[in-house]
Amino acid sequence: MRFEHPATFNPIDQLKVIGHPTSRIDGPLKTTGTAPYAYERHDVAANQAYGYVVGSAIGKGRIGSIDLEAAKAAPGVLAIVTAGNAGKLGKGERNAAPLLGGPEIAHYHQAVAVVVAGTFEQARAAAQLVRIDYVKGDGKFDLAAERDKGVTPHPSFGGPADTAVGDFAAAFAGAPVQLDATYTTPDQGHAMMEPHASIAAWDGDKLTVWTSNQMIAWGAEDMAKTLGIAKENVRLVSPYIGGGFGGKLFLRAEVLLAALGARAAGRPVKVALQRPLMFNNTTHRPATIQRIRIGAERDGKITAIGHESWSGNVKDGEPEMAVSQTRLLYAGASRMTATRLAALDLPEGNAMRAPGEASGMMALEIAIDELADKLGIDPVVLRISNDTQVDPEHPERHFSQRQLVQCLSDGAARFGWDKRNPKPGAVRDGRWLVGMGVAAAFRNNLVTKSAARVRLDQNGIVTVETDMTDIGTGSYTIIAQTAAEMMGVPLDKVGVRLGDSDFPVSCGSGGQWGGNNSTAGVYAACTKLREAIAQKLGFNSEEAVFADGVVRSGNRSVPLAQAAGGGDLVAEDAIEYGDLAKTYQQSTFGAHFVEVGVDADTAEIRVRRMLAVCAAGRILNPKAARSQVIGAMTMGVGAALMEDLVVDRRHGLFINHDLAAYEVPVHADIPHQEMIFLDETDPISSPMKAKGVAELGICGVAAAVANAVHNATGVRVRDYPITLDKLLAGMPEPV
């Protein structure tokens, strides 16, 4: 099915199942511990052995020598794989550094060996006996030191590196009110609950991997390329994923080493990365240095806006596109964005929930508040007055939907923004200095091809098969809701099978594109199945009504299951997109409001209230969508107040590489979170008229917290995270 024109009324618009706050159909499995995650698939292959990964102990250099004799002689050891005996390996298109290092070392904890043994304990003990002598090289581990050596990167996922409209330099120089500030965001880790884990089994030259991966087709392609085998000989299975946040978008070391270990040992092998290797061996959100310049008239109209960002990565890595939202969020005749990429020898930087915008909004939305302070204008009013209904860089292109003003105004009314005292440090509640902050939320809506297969059996059961994944986002449920709505059956008559490369290729889970595109692919397949059923039952497919388990037209009604009386009816199709995404700018919008308390003596920060208002097209399942947004809001608090992968600049590693030292929010850190979805459908996006929402919820949260801290204390922190040591010196004098 090709989607080339705005959606009109279709079966989804009945809203009998779609749009209702439906509990997750996979919830009982997960809450009872019976959902099979990758490492726990004890039933899929007999005689499983265990692999333990050895990571490089240096950040740059090479292996001088490696002694495996003691490890080979250890009890239970079946095989040890290194770059020396692994055979010729390629590199997947989506991997910047080789997944198996040696003799050259690209980064700290790059995998250099896997020890395979009969038990996990045997593999772990033997791994300690591997003796490696390294020749250390001079690595580059400090973004600030390498900033000026940054180069203009090639166009990437976030678009071109640089953009320019008008004469920014002249407009900024001539603006009566100017802001010129630099902000930094640190490296951040995904820290998902489930580690990267895989079980690999060979059957001749065919490989099956049970793994934890967000993008099945990408993983199968890159596994085949890395091993140098045909893609049709690789099967990836990943029905349940215990969190990903972008860290499981691509093939990682444990998948490859499980496959190599299984081939060497001659039996299935399971491998899970230990937590320190998850921080240093897999990907992370790269640190940024961002300079923002804004020029405005005294009435608040922005006349010039410029955003420059520097980030670092390993060779062949991509930049953090922190300037993306600045190209689209606010009006301004003269504009400039620039992205520079420095060469670093740290572990690979890549996608983490809302790559680009999450980091960029952390800076931009503080800058907007700082401009509001200079102008003496309310921060909400300033944002509203610089709204635009067209792409500021391409004014001929309108937004398909843009309710940013409504998000801000509705949120301000709901949150009680009119009670905010604009004077910093003026509001107290006992020992607490109290402040309110606001930030806009922005994330683009991305459309991409997605396919599914739908089957009707003689019992009236509809089964959907697609390689789409569920990383905790509710894919199982919204796909089931889509099929139920389209086929006119209750939810308990729908089965959903996900995460298998034997199924049709979906959009996968990432970039906030999963929900809209995957359900649109199911819509396409169901449309084809409806046509087959109507033809089988002798109905005109355009007139047939599917409802309550029957097919009706005029005064004739036939049970749906009757169409499959002679055998299952199967239909497969994909949603493919025309030029609507080029004709219209598709984005999602929101507003975050935060109230904090800051201890007047210790500068301890406590988030007291949070509100998010989001406009993201049709909300397919408000219950699941709310969970996504409040989870993202929680991550935003972590980004604001605690998350920081601290770089050891001597040795090139993230030194706090475990969940004891890498701090993330816990229940005590998060108050009740309120969130509102505006009533919106977007017929430009897909037949579902929906958009993604899972990443919108994190964009802007950290800045709203930072702005609230400033309102509470008068201290402006431009370097995240906002820790008490950055506040103490500037705190208001005791009353």
Contact 471, 244 (CB under 8 A): yes
Which of 489, 497, 591, 575 has the alpha carbon at shortest distance from 530?
489
The distance of Cα 662 from the centroid of its chain, to the nearest Å, equals 19
The tokens of 646 are what?
Answer: 């601290």
Describe the crossing of helices 622-641 and 701-713 by its angle, rounded to 10 degrees.
50
Contact 116, 47 (CB under 8 A): no
Q: If DSSP codes are grouped into helix, strand and coil, which group holds residue 455?
A: strand
- Only one residue has tokens 């047939």, namely 544
DSSP secondary structure of 665-704: --GGG---EEEEE-----TTT-TT-B---TTGGGTTHHHH
Q: In Å, how far are 220, 571, 643 from 451, measured between CA atoms? A: 16, 11, 37
Q: What CA–CA distance (Å, rounded) separates 388 from 392?
A: 7
- Only one residue has tokens 């400033």, namely 710
The tokens of 603 are what?
Answer: 């500068």
The distance of Cα 623 from the centroid of its chain, to the nearest Å, equals 19
User: Phi/psi of residue 216, each to 5°?
Assistant: -65, -50
Contact 290, 309 (CB under 8 A): yes
Q: What CA–CA distance (Å, rounded) separates 441 from 407?
A: 9
Handedness of CA 239, 244, 249, 252 (dihedral sign): negative
Contact 317, 345 (CB under 8 A): no
Strand 587-599 to 432-444 pairing:
antiparallel
Strand 104-105 to 269-272 pairing:
unpaired
Residues facing 617 on adjacent strands: 690
Identity at 340, one-letter amino acid code: R
Contact 274, 53 (CB under 8 A): yes
Q: What CA–CA distance (Å, rounded) separates 160 from 399?
A: 20
Compute the CA torsion angle 143, 149, 152, 158 (nearest 10 deg).
0
The tokens of 394 are what?
Answer: 């391409």
Strand 569-577 to 556-559 pairing:
unpaired
DSSP secondary structure of 433-448: EEEEEEEEEEEE----
Q: What CA–CA distance (Å, rounded) separates 378 from 218?
A: 47
Q: In Å, how far are 15, 499, 604 from 727, measured between CA atoms? A: 50, 47, 9
Among the residues of 376-415, which ranges form H helices? 379-385, 404-415
Q: What is the DSSP letter of 724?
A: G
Q: If DSSP codes are grouped into helix, strand and coil, which group holds residue 712?
A: helix
Identity at 655, one-letter amino acid code: I
Q: What CA–CA distance (Å, rounded) separates 386 from 302?
A: 7
CA-based end-to-end distance of the chain: 68
Q: What CA–CA distance (Å, rounded) separates 600 from 597?
A: 9
Contact 161, 356 (CB under 8 A): no
Q: If DSSP codes are grouped into helix, strand and coil, which group holds residue 237?
A: strand
List active site positions.
695
Length of the chain: 735
Which of 137, 272, 129 has the alpha carbon at shortest distance from 194?
272
Contact 496, 464 (CB under 8 A): yes
